[in-house]
Structure 1
Amino acid sequence: MTTAPQLDVTDRFRELLDRLSQKAIEDYYNPYQRFDWADHLDEEQWWMSPELLSVAGTDQQEQLDEATLKRLSKWESVNFYSLNVHGIRELLMEVISRIHTPGFEVPSDFFHHFIGEENEHMWFFSEFCLRYGKKIYRPPVVALTSGPTYEPEVENFLVFAKVLFFEEMVDHYNMAMGQDERLCRTIRQVNAIHHQDESRHIAFGRELVGHLYTLMCERVGEDRLREVEAYLKRYIVYSVNSFYNPEVYRDAGIADPLALRAAVLADPGRRVAERRVIRKPMAFFRKIGLFADDTLPLG
């Protein structure tokens, strides 16, 4: 009979869980009452920090006038929140399937806070999209939400490693836009509040992923670890590429959205911008020993 993988729960981990759970209680807010939803957002203002646009740092950016870039910022903003809706839905299903199951007894109390907060995040991101964009963009056609069938300890590690990466990537945008005075109050508020909650989730995620990595290393060989590294790197590239959405370019009035996507993806300037977005999670995966280097496969 195979026993469930057991976390090596340290006093430090328990103390962190207690502290984060208490902080979640103290910081709790009712999202249905918290937000000051504007009746409409100015179409001639920035909806996303221009430095965060998918064309930023490229030759293509220089070929677009400011009015087009601001129009693009509206739809890239809607796409960003749409990606959050889809990403949160996927991670919630994975976490819910593990709460109060063997091996996850200790973090399950915090999972309740996590699940509740992520459900509320999904609501206010969808509310933004539907209020101001009248739609939620579809998820990318080629999804990489599941990989080959692995050992339970590998599956558990991959689930929470992907959750952590997604949260850290999103938080890069939240931190910038939550403080950007060029953006309206509604957009700043949505991003600042999400960052407040995600800071707890990231602290928890890093600790949990570290424990799960140790457990995985005890159960599988080097070949499997390299498979996991390759899979997670592909997931990172897939996640980054989801920001280059031809439907967004079409809605922004770009004449040939597929050509723009291809040109932007090929522009070396985007590699610099992308590395800023993923710098923290990449460094973390190298620190715990999973990533042997910081190279990524071509998209």
Structure 2
Amino acid sequence: MPMPSVNTPSTGPAGTTAGDDTEFRTLLDRLSDKATADYYNPFTTFDWPPTIPADGLWMSPELLSVHGTGLMDELSPAQLQALGRWESVNFYSLNVHGIRELLIEVTRRIHTTGFELPSEFFHHFIGEENDHMWFFATFCLKYADKIYPDRTVKLPEAPRAQDVENFLVFARILIFEQIVDHYNVHLAADQRLHPTVRHINRLHHQDESRHIAFGCRLVQLLWERLLDRGLNEADRLDLRDYLGRYLTTSMESFYSPAVYRDAGLMDGFALRRRLLAHPARQAAHAKVLHKTTDFLHRIGVFDARH
């Protein structure tokens, strides 16, 4: 079931009313103007140094997957530096893969029925995300000589109605961007890190702040449209379960046996299981995800059980 076109007299994009249409247009115009004002050429913005010292911090210790656990105290400073270096590369690798996926999904929808209104902003979005993928990939290849492969296990999903699929696509994009932005904000402000690391994260946060503002509004509109057309309880539970699993797997992607191996830590799979079960790590996940889960509760996607 396609989304109503903005040309439909009674409804606007994502099934919005005329009043919502005006509000959404105003937001899109403001974000597009800001994107134009903030535009930079990534190919000339970065002054890539030949190397980034291996004996410095590439990742804030507070963001390491071992933070808050006994292992943090067991590792030597050199081991923590190595772990931070490879977890940094993993973080940027996750960005490369996540951006590739969201670019595919947004490109599928640009200038299609129901997405007429946001398509102008989609052009800014696609261009900026392509730039992001380039500078994250460049960092990985230049300073680590590799991009970690995408290990995400994509389970077969039952076919869903198009409006449900649209909602899930943009909910996944928003979740991905808010998780990444949590790291960006911290890394950009951490004076202990190399200037190139701070620069990448500062620029990414600058753009993502617009994408997140857009994503929050679009996801809310798509959710309201599902409710307006009569989303049944079984489908609501399915969506809640799907997004809950997506939140969990997104955080689990920060625990990489390949990273632990490259950092010289033994038995990466056992270490991953140990860390994921640690209460301190679960608390850390909740901190990273709180903006997302608060938003999903506020618009009614999640309830008290989540």
Shift in Å, 1:263: 1.1
Computed over aligned residues only, the root mean square deviation of the Cα atoms, in angstroms, reads 1.2
Q: After TM superposition, list the pairs within 5 Å mapping 1:1-299 onto structure 2.
A: 4-5=3-4, 6-7=13-14, 8=16, 9-143=20-154, 147-219=157-229, 220-293=231-304, 295=306
Structure 2 unaligned residues grouped into runs of 5+:
5-12
Q: How far apart, CA to CA, are the structure 1 residues paired with 2:46 and 2:157?
A: 38
Deviation string for 1:126-167 (max 9, x for gaps)? Answer: 0000001100001124136x7331111110000000000000
Quote the offset at 1:262 in angstroms: 1.4
Q: Distance in 2 between matches of 1:170 and 1:27?
A: 20
Whole-angstrom CA distance in 2 between matches of 1:171 and 1:148: 31
Report the CA distance shift for 1:114/1:132 in structure 2 as closer, same or farther (over 3 A).
Answer: same
Q: State the AA in 2 paired with 1:17.
A: L
SS at match of 1:150: coil
* TM-score when normalising by structure 2: 0.93
| Alpha-carbon distance between aligned partners in 2 of 1:94 and 1:208, rounded to the nearest angstrom | 14
Q: Give me the whole-angstrom Cα distance separating, in 1, the residues matched to 2:2 and 2:103.
A: 25
Read off the aligned partner of 2:246 and give its amino acid letter. Answer: Y
Q: Distance in 2 between matches of 1:290 and 1:103?
A: 22
Q: Is contact 1:87-1:166 (8 Å) kept?
A: yes
Give the match's secondary structure for 2:124. Answer: helix
Paired with 1:263 and 1:65, the residues of 2 have a C-alpha distance of 19
- Identity score, percent: 53
Which residue type is aligned with residue 59 of structure 1? G
Contact 1:147 1:231 in 2 (8 A): no
Contact 1:60 1:263 survives alignment (8 Å): no
Distance in 2, matches of 1:16 and 1:167, equals 18
2:157 maps to amino acid = G
Runs of 4+ with deviation above 2 angstroms: 2-6
Cα offset for 1:19? Answer: 0.4
- Report the equivalent of 2:7: none
* Contact 1:59 1:267 survives alignment (8 Å): no
Structure 2 letter corresponding to 1:177: L
Looking at structure 1, the residues matched to 127 and 82 of structure 2 have their Cα atoms a distance apart, in angstroms, of 34
Query: For the structure 1 residues 177 and 232, does the alpha-carbon distance in structure 2 shift closer, same or farther, using more than 3 Å as the test?
Result: same
Quickly say closer, same or farther: Cα 1:49–1:294, change in 2 above 3 A: farther
Unaligned runs of 5+ in 1: none
**SS in structure 1 at match of 2:205:** helix
Is the Cα–Cα contact under 8 Å of residues 60 and 264 in structure 1 kept in the other structure?
A: no
Q: Deviations over 1:14-57 (max 9, x none)?
A: 10000000110111000000012111011111100000001111
Kept in 1, the 8 Å contact 2:2–2:162? The answer is no
Structure 2 distance, partners of 1:120, 1:169, is 19
Write the distance in 2 (CA, Å) between the matches of 1:11 and 1:258: 51
Structure 1 residue matching 2:109: 3-state secondary structure: coil
What is the TM-score normalised by the length of structure 1? Answer: 0.95
> Counterpart amino acid of 1:56?
H
